[in-house]
Chains A and B, each alone.
Chain A
Amino acid sequence: MLRFIGKRLVMSLGVLWAASVLVFIMVANSGDPLFDLKMNPLTPKASILYREHLLHLDKSIPERYWIWFTGVLHGDFGKTLHGVPVGPQLFTHMAVTMKMVIPALLLAIVIAISLGVYSATKRGRWQDKGVTFTSFLFLATPVFVVGLFLKFFVAIPIDQHFQKVILSTAGDSSPTATGGFFQRIPDMLSHMTLPTMTLVLAVFSSWVIYQRSTVLDTMDQDYVMLARSKGISKRRVLVRHILRNALIPVTTVIALDFAGLLGGAVITETVYSWNGLGLWFLNGVNALDINVVLAYLMFTATTVIIFNLLADLAYAVLDPRIRYS
């Protein structure tokens, strides 16, 4: 098991490295990031040269990559086009994004598993059909549509009705909010509710469908029949025998979807103007700010890899057949 995880880790790092080379070459070849600066007749020549030197734009692409690569190994992600170090920016923006991603992930897991199990136990009845249909509906709805809908047709009407901001639609917190952590909780909730909900609605539906079908498969297993034939309560059969087994495969699915969750965060941040990783990345892409783009991609990829490792470990904890092989 540990060897398997180790092998996976090494392979993932290789993939990551190859991706960084590809992205670097593509972004580096795709235009001059200082184009606007140079077009401005007021920019002194010396300042342009200084910027080029600072960003190593005067060197060849392999040299630039090498500088970037050795920098990353030392924890230095280079500087943005404006000459600010990328690393600290990455972490401030990450803190913002995680405020919606982590609650959304936890909520989505809880909702998806309970709805999936509920739907399976009501197999074929209207509750089951309702859950399945709703899941399909959200599966088919783009994240930006969900986000915009909640923003314009839930938050704004509520706020207008009560004549004050109950559900905030811009930013991750009010700049005016003061006080300690506990005093700021209402403000945080006001800002976090809708983005988190958007993200939950964007990811939970496929997990519901998956969880439902796993529970249905598990219900038909011989060991569930044997458990029922023992004369234990229906609830115990469901929780200890069906659910305990049906939770195993869904961990992998959730882990694999984590990348999609981070992708969803890009859209949600755009809709709700959160200055998180997603917006930072989008702006970086638009400005062809190579260090920002790479930092974002490497960071998300690393997070996803770590998350998958955790899922593998969870799998091993949940399934004795894996644990001992």
Chain B
Amino acid sequence: MPEPIIEVNDLRVDFPSEDGTVHAIRGVHFDLFPHEVFGIVGESGSGKSVTSLALIGLLAKSATATGSIKLNGEELLGKSEKELTPYRGKTIAMIFQDPMTSLNPVYTIGWQITEAIQAHQSVSKEDAKKEAVRLLEAAGISQAENRMESYPHEFSGGMRQRAVIAIAMANSPQVILADEPTTALDVTVQAQVLDTLKVALRETQASLVLITHDLGVIAGLADRVAVMYAGRIVETGTVEDLFYRTAMPYTHGLLGSIPSVDDTGQERLRQIPGAPPTMVGDVQGCPFAPRCPLRQATCFEVEPELVKVTNSESSAFHTSACHFANDVTLMPAASMFTDTSSADESEKTI
């Protein structure tokens, strides 16, 4: 196995809030290997965005992060803003969710890409500009030369996200973090932007941490996936592990809530009843237990550790935080959430 680029160990992030301390991340572990696409899925508030911000050191000042984030063996956590600057954009680059707000409205697209290039490369202004045009072209913007002088408000959402991807590519980083890169875009544009992302990965040879709630995107792009719930990773493995040998009822729930093309129309869209817990105060037991169809008494008492799934077909990466992980792998996904008590609630939904 190659050396991981990023090793995250027992990462915890707390935020102060009016109602008390919010435990946004409660002990996350994962490794990121070269040239892989690592997907992180979860609902809003599961901690997936916070994880990506922690990786690049952009958490809000009020947040406290503990644990360890190692980049090529070097500890990043606890480094000052100044000490992190050489890594940002150079080793790790980031793509944000909403391209409508992530470009500075008062500068031209060209200026913003050139700035990223000159942040880490000592090249002349002309060369930086030439490189910027090349990056824009690579990101799929036609007539890039003319587009350099455009302001963000003159670009469509898809074009802006391409420009953001061009910025991320600027210094051929080892890691690109993409936080819901297509969520804010029109469905028709989403696929194009994902293709651009693939081009960027090919160009830079970077690994991608892809944060999304869209399992379709994961299936199409990711090598390995982590499912986050209530600030922890509750299941991780290869895409095949998660889709075909699901070892956590919550993952089942997520899979069940995507409508599939071959739905007959008779079936209801299955949903997970209830809502994720607020992250204030301590958690006792499995945080998913109140919503879980398989809950037992122990689920409310002991929070399950993330342990290897021993299903014979599972890959070496497959882990799950469920007391009954191996039993879950044997269950057909379709049956789990259909006949729950909230059947009438789901009727309203559709």
Contacts and interface: CB of A to CB of B under 8 A. Distances in A.
B101 A221 contact: yes
Interface stretch (A161-169, A189-197, A227-235): A227-235
Given A223-B101, A223-B102, A229 B56 contact: yes
A159 B24 CA distance: 62
Contacts of B119: 230-232
A225 B102 contact: yes
B96 A226 contact: yes
Nearest to B81: A234
Contact of A231 (B61, B85, B105): B85
A222 interface: yes
Interface string A220-250: 0111011111111110000011001100100
B58 A225 contact: yes
Given A226-B94, A230-B88, A231-B120, A245 B56 contact: no
Contacts of B87: 231
Contacts of B85: 231-234
Contact of A230 (B81, B101, B116): B116
For the complex, would chain B's binding face be called helix, strand, loop or mixed by DSSP majority?
loop
B197 interface: no
Given A123-B61, A319-B105, A320-B106, A229 B153 contact: no
Contacts of A321: 105, 151, 153
Contacts of B171: 231
A318 interface: yes
Contacts of A244: 104, 106
Contacts, number: 80
Interface in A241-264: 241, 244-245, 248
Given A234-B81, A241-B104, A320-B106, A226 B88 contact: no
B103 interface: yes
A231 B88 contact: yes
A226 B115 contact: no
A322 to B, nearest CB: 10
A240 B111 CA distance: 11
B67 to A, nearest CB: 21
A228 B98 contact: no
A123 B61 CA distance: 10
Nearest 7 pairs between A and B by C-beta? A231-B89, A231-B88, A229-B94, A222-B102, A222-B101, A230-B89, A223-B104
